[in-house]
Amino acid sequence: MAALRYSGLDDTDSEDELPPCWEQRTTKDGWVYYANHTEEKTQWEHPKTGKRKRIAGDLPYGWEQETDENGQVFFVDHINKRTTYLDPRLAFTVDENPTRPTTRQRYDASTTAMEILQGRDFTGKVVVVTGANSGIGFETAKSFALHGAHVILACRNMTRANEAVSRILGEWRKAKVEAMTLDLALLRSVQHFAQAFKAKNVSLHVLVCNAAAFALPWSLTKDGLETTFQVNHLGHFFLVQLLQDVLCCSAPARVVVVSSESHRFTDINDSSGKLDFSRLSPSKSDYWAMLAYNRSKLCNILFSNELHRRLSPRGVTSNAVHPGNMMYSSIHRNWWVYTLLFTLARPFTKSMVPPASLPSQTEHILQPRRCWLTIIVRPKGWL
């Protein structure tokens, strides 16, 4: 257990906890065996469960396997600058001959974005995340970058975007990450971003439509549309249309649209059941900030479902995801009333700050039950 904690991978499965005097080891080809230091013997079967196991997946990004002068394998964590003789993948072993399916939940309320991508190598994959200079977008971009992906932070504020890039490079100097200008409140900026991205002549394997505005006072964009509707939905809709050909050529690829459970508390149809376009971009007299946000999130889901229907036959899947009811971020910053409410609720919310950085143990990490990042990596074989 101490060695697992040293590797940053605490084993919380009591069934697999080893009895005293036993140690778990691995062979060079990935098989797990068990050493009893009291009886000085080894065996393939777990001393408690009788199961045989093997290592699953590649080493976490930043880890490397080496051999010492005695021929013994050890592992180097280049990110945290430490070494261990314990394979960091031991927390993710699989049964060689499983007898029954397990019902144990792999991800829970304390799962981080880094843990979701544990053991996956995204080298050669290109990921675009909108609104990636802070909050959920930043954590997503950072996790992809530290697992080898070429990540593009698509942001309106380039000063904050470049600061986010520096923070990621500060954790792993070899990370391939950059920032590009994208203002979803200006359709011309969306078009320029798509043109600049295509000029790079690279693939696009994951597009995360994360950026959003919340609790904005009524205003119109330069395109003549209500701002919340354009930023949260229409800008992303236009972006996906412009990059659709790149996504299809990069298949298998994926679009992830960050929506919200609040989409349930609104309607975009009129009394006769027909779509009421005036509700999507309402006038000032018909505007309510929360309702505008809810409608934009409903549009996200409808768009994602239809996009999946159209592009999945071409190898591009689309998912709309809910990040969690009690996720604390800076999305409330546009109106002091919401800031006050979010501040009062802060002790009961999940934080975007990793556990080691929390000021006290009363604040809990980050991801909602069954972290939404699993949507990006769930299917087997495509990445």
Q: What is the pLDDT of residues 197-230, one digit of tens each?
A: 999 999 999 999 999 998 789 999 999 999 999 9
Residue 150's pLDDT is: 98
More confident residue, 48 or 379: 48
pLDDT at 363 over 60: no
Higher-pLDDT residue of 130 and 330 is 130
Q: Is the peptide bond before 347 cis (omega within 30 degrees of 0)?
A: no
* 257, burial (CB in 10 Å: exposed 0-12, middle 13-18, buried 19+): buried
Cβ–Cβ under 8 Å, residues 383 and 120: yes
- CA proximity to 218, closest of 288, 116, 167: 288
- DSSP class per residue in 17-81: PPPTTEEEEE-TTSBEEEEETTTTEEESS-TTT---EEE-SPPPTTEEEEE-TTS-EEEEETTTT
Nearest CA to 319 out of 246, 379, 230 is that of 379
Q: Where is average pLDDT lowest: 79-88, 125-134, 178-187?
A: 79-88
pLDDT exceeds 70 at position 195: yes
Asked which of 26-40, 292-306, 350-364 is least confident by mean pLDDT, the reply is 350-364
pLDDT of 380 > 60? The answer is no
Q: What is the pLDDT of residue 327?
A: 52
- Name which residue leads in pLDDT, 127 or 274: 127
Mean pLDDT of the chain: 80
Decide: helix, strand or coil at residue 235.
Answer: helix
d(CA 217, CA 289): 7
Average pLDDT of 371-376? 48
Residue 331 scores a pLDDT above 60: no
Q: Is 61 known to be catalytic?
A: no
pLDDT the model gives residue 330? 53
Q: What is the per-residue pLDDT for 372?
A: 47
Among the residues of 314-357, which ranges form H helices?
A: 336-345
Q: Which residues pair with 208 in a beta bridge?
A: 129, 256
Sheet of strand 176-181, all strands in order from the earlier edge strand to the far edge: 176-181, 150-155, 126-130, 206-209, 253-258, 316-321
Range of lowest pLDDT (47-56, 166-175, 182-191, 313-322): 47-56
Mean pLDDT of 187-198: 98
How many Cα atoms within 13 Å fall on the side-chain side of residue 14? 0
Contacts of 157 by beta carbon, 8 Å cutoff, 6+ apart = 133
More confident position, 303 or 273: 303
The answer, yes or no, to whether residue 275 has pLDDT greater than 80, is no
Helices and strands in the chain: count of H runs, count of E runs: 11, 16
Spell out where the chain has E strands. Answer: 22-26, 32-36, 41-43, 53-55, 63-67, 73-77, 82-84, 93-95, 126-130, 150-155, 176-181, 206-209, 253-258, 316-321, 350-351, 364-365
Has residue 269 got a pLDDT over 80?
Answer: no
Q: What is the DSSP letter of 334?
A: T
Q: In whole angstroms, how far apart are CA 62 and each of 150, 266, 276?
A: 15, 45, 51
Among the ranges given (55-69, 263-277, 321-335, 367-381), the one the predictor scored with the smallest mean pLDDT: 367-381
Residue 349 confidence (pLDDT) = 59
Region 142-159: what's the mean pLDDT?
96
Task: Write down the catalytic residue from 61, 85, 107, 293.
Answer: 293
* Mean pLDDT within 84-96: 78
Say what the pLDDT of residue 4 is: 42
